[in-house]
Amino acid sequence: MAVLPGTAERVPEHTPASFNRAIRLDTDGTVRWYAEHPEHINDRLETLEREWDIERMLEANASTLAFIGTLLGAFVSPYWLILPALVTLFLFQHAVQGWCPPLPILRKLGFRTSREIDTERYALKVLRGDFGPLAQGEPAGQAQRALQAVRR
């Protein structure tokens, strides 16, 4: 019997490797930049607190489409009720499998999982010194050690 993927792994497992790689390289580059510009880390951490992860984006889009479809079904034509039915089916598919039709588009646009956002958040906290001696040395080494520590 196949085991369903865990919450943290299901989106990356159903995302093209090139999209996952681009997201990871972008995060790595961002952490390297902040290793060289530590005076901006607090601002970046505040930005990360407001960043929408892919789950939130999928939920917002699904609920919006379901609501619009329900309104159109009630006031225009009952055929519009197909829209919320499909949207809820796709949302259920995503909950179980970690994939749904909008997922590749959102990943291509750079929407990250909460774990991917947390990787950047905690790497920046390492650089800021929140976790002690991991952030010593030259900026490139600091960034590398920070990323290794949070990806274990």
Q: Which long-range contacts (CB under 8 A, 24 or more apart) does 42-48 make?
A: 42/128, 44/124, 45/121, 45/124, 45/125, 45/128, 48/117, 48/120, 48/121, 48/124
**The tokens 């961002």 sit on which residue?**
30
Q: Is the pTM of this model over 0.75?
A: yes
Gyration radius of the chain's alpha carbons: 19
CB 59 within 8 A of CB 100: no
> What pLDDT, on the 0 to 100 scale, is given for residue 1?
46
> What pLDDT, on the 0 to 100 scale, is given for residue 67?
98
Q: Show Cβ contacts of residue 129 under 8 Å, excluding neighbours closer than 6 positions.
A: 135
> What pLDDT, on the 0 to 100 scale, is given for residue 132?
75
> What pLDDT, on the 0 to 100 scale, is given for residue 129?
87
| Cα 91 to Cα 16: distance, rounded to the nearest angstrom | 19
CA-CA-CA-CA dihedral for 71, 72, 77, 80, to nearest 10: -110
Q: Which amino acid is at 86?
A: L
> What pLDDT, on the 0 to 100 scale, is given for residue 9?
86
Dihedral (CA of 82, 83, 88, 92) sign: positive
pLDDT tens across the length of the chain (152 residues): 456 777 788 899 999 999 999 999 999 999 999 999 999 999 999 999 999 999 999 999 999 999 999 999 999 999 999 999 999 999 999 998 889 999 999 999 999 999 999 999 999 998 998 877 766 788 888 888 888 888 86
| Model confidence pLDDT, tens digit, residues 102-133 | 999 999 999 999 999 999 999 999 899 887 77
